[in-house]
Structure 1
């Protein structure tokens, strides 16, 4: 027969019994677990796995690199499997961006003073250049709250690039980085909206804080030298020229300017009723890389010249500009006044010339002036008033 007092005493003692000691973990295993828990906290906070990409926060980029490494190491997967409540080891629930981080794992880990890619809770001193890249080059981009103010500028620059009014050229000098300057870096157009006070950095070099707006609606408060490094590192990095890259429409040009051709404006001597009745308004506008005299030679035999002789009424020399893009731009501006006429060539075939417009010479002059000063994107041609008007007022 059991003694009830002894049973009660045994039960009480069991409550105070020392628990069984769990197998101790190595310092490396503790670091791996701690690092994985940080990734889990990131997923809890953001609802997704960490992603690669230069536009990401440097800690997120480190978590993404760390997770990739954990998945590749079998001993890490075995250790962490019981803790993987979010399915991270199998890749479930992740929406990682295509591609990988440009920085390799060791370099990115060094940015935060990590050990073996896992220990970031205790930052240690690393080489100064790495610390500066973490603080300066990897400046996090954020949403540009007033992007609606800059969006028309990006649209205008793209139009001017398409028209040849602006060009892209290799980035060369830090001096090219200034307020109002445009660049292409990382495949995106970048606009330097503002520049802070110039200061001397720890290396004794001049620098300044910039506000840089990107065409995807983000912005970065980065250093001038950081942008310089990014442009130099990017093989496709370019600067976008100002609308006037030299005397584009002038008889005066510098020694370094490259001749691109001539814009010519012609009047026809054709006896066609529509032409004869509007002789002072019917103009052909074209661009050529040869002399205008050569271009119009034998005009009476060519349907593009209405099978008649022509009179040259204006010419504009071109330097440092894309001829075909410029011609397309001019024709697009005056498209509402394009002459709708069909003639027969010398073999009797019907031809519809596309370079004749019912527009006064004064409007052509004004259009070319606005192309030259970079304001043409804000204007359209109004056939009713026979002049250029601001967009939205026609």
Structure 2
């Protein structure tokens, strides 16, 4: 028995000696990661924290990924801020060791080490979406930005590294997300109802955000809404205290913040909230998730059910029609320049906002500045 223990210890020591340290795995053994390694070498405190990690998976952007990112001077300035850099690196570290062949056809949402409330107001840490797509494992971050594994399973003493072809984007708050996703009517409705701060500050939320076509379809009723009615309608699209990703949905009911129930129905893999179809699922927020729907939900018509045979959605509001003044609630809302398709009914989950040099949408305004520079982030191994 004693000899067995000695042999086991010797074997473990041999395996440990053969497994490179993180600095070796990122440095001399992988020239495609020299940009990341140089970045860490210039931030010794961050590098030391990373070297102590165990049982993690690091998504390491390649040199080309960093080159595309830093070609924008604003991005380069962000990376020079140590607080933001720590948060960004945390977001590239997955809890647990996930080898390439462990990712299946089913979408999974994996918690990262990004837990600082300045950047991630969700219980258990901000997540990335992982999906096997076209025989490649792809990760989706904010605004469905995608990064694909180009070199898998680079092992090191703390777990494994996957080299990816793009830098992940930290999810933004609801206002920035709706604006950048071109869901300008939904953003305007929340602002008009004076609920922006409440939604931004809430922890663990799920939002069903109607696209602009959906708001346009009920434009005729908007001018007649009282303040209380608009507040109730907006509140009927928000679930507080529960982050429900698409993989969590089953035939059930959820209670919205206005107290009314939303019936969730799954038909052949398509999710419906009452009669509204989810057209773009799982747009990550810093405090939850957004699912784009093709109808505005009506809190006075909670029994609306999906009609899977209809060629187009029937509004949940009786006698509603398009207004004469264009898409409601969009006046004064900044129109984004992205190609994200969520604003119209043409949006789909495989479409993304990815474009050359746009891997990191910029935070803007007072809230954005506070989020970027207002708090410290500490790398921890959960």
Higher relative contact order (CA 8 A, sep 6+): 2
TM-score range, shorter chain: under 0.3
* Structure (1/2) with the larger helix percentage: 1
CA radius of gyration, larger in? 1
